[in-house]
Structure 1
Amino acid sequence: MRSSAFITFFHDALNAYNKMCEPILHEFDIPQVSFDILMFLNNNPDLCTAQQISEFRNIKKNLVSVHVEKLVTAGYLQRGTVAGDRRKVLLSCTEKAQPILKAGLEMQQDFNQKLTLDIPQKYMNIFKEITESMAANTRQMLNE
């Protein structure tokens, strides 16, 4: 695959994902970044700091801070501390966020089904193996 085709695929996939988010954003009157933060925390419980959200979702730190503050104020997120490290703040979704998360998880499942429509399972298994190998290669490059 040419690199431009690879980049175009990810660009288009992200745009399609964002388009599928729109009904949820309107229903709950929530911005895309806030929704992305909630879904990230829900889908990645071990990555629960603002720093990790910024790093893994590639959202600027100040933007994460603004949206986290709004989500806390709205009652969708709560802050917690780490024993032995008062500087580290853990974020977690509250019960109030559950309807958004439920709708988000259903949308993500629908997105995944549409994205992989008509792709045989054997190819999905190969894709998974390739992705895991590329992830291992990437980690190796980062450690060199």
Structure 2
Amino acid sequence: MLTEFWDSFSLMKRLYDQVMEPVCRNYGITRMELDILLFLANNPCYDTAADIIGRRQLTKSHVSSSVRRLEERGLLGRTFRQGNRKTVHLSLLAGSAPIVKEGRNAQKQYFSEIFKGFSKEEIQKIGGNFIRIAGNARQAIMED
């Protein structure tokens, strides 16, 4: 079971990389930049670099440089909330819309591939189990 567990993660990551690579190539962006755009599009309640770093377990320097490049290309905007000039909130700008659309289509393609032949009930059970596994991993990391 252990071998299949590790193999399945490697295979799923490889397939995800494979479906995302054309999106990056089409728009001349890095995979990190695409991941940031999709994270913000798919998780509107999380809109800071710290949210991206914490939720996706990415390095601060990579997120920071990617956010800067996305801003320079006019794909991301920065705002401050009234009364808080410390926290920068990120927002998708209109220029990011076609990239996000194509990225989301690639994500749909990915999920349709990995869940081919599964019933809705089976997919829900898998999702619930992954939430539990991630919770266990998060707790173990915090205990260290």
Distance in 2 of aligned mates of 1:143 and 1:29? 37
Q: Percent identity, aligned pairs only? A: 29
Question: Please, which runs of 5 or more residues in structure 2 have no aligned partner?
Answer: none
Question: Please, which runs of 5 or more residues in structure 1 have no aligned partner?
Answer: none
1:11 alignment counterpart:
10
Distance in 2 of aligned mates of 1:42 and 1:64? 16
1:68 and 2:67 correspond: yes
2:88 alignment counterpart:
89
Distance in 1 of aligned mates of 2:72 and 2:130? 38
Distance in 2 of aligned mates of 1:137 and 1:56? 15
Higher relative contact order (CA 8 A, sep 6+): 2
The Cα shift of 1:141 comes to 6.8
Q: After superposition, give the CA deviation of every residue in 1:120-143 in whole Å (9 maximum; x if it has no partner).
A: 233223223434555666677789
Shift of the 127–36 alpha-carbon distance from structure 1 to 2, 3 Å rule, reads same
* TM-score with structure 2 setting the length: 0.87
Q: Which shifted more, 123-132 or 85-94?
A: 123-132
Equivalent position SS for 2:50: helix
Equivalent residue pairs, number = 143
2:98 alignment counterpart:
99
Q: Which amino acid aligns with 1:112?
A: F
1:110 alignment counterpart:
109
Distance in 2 of aligned mates of 1:139 and 1:19? 27
Distance in 2 of aligned mates of 1:31 and 1:139? 27
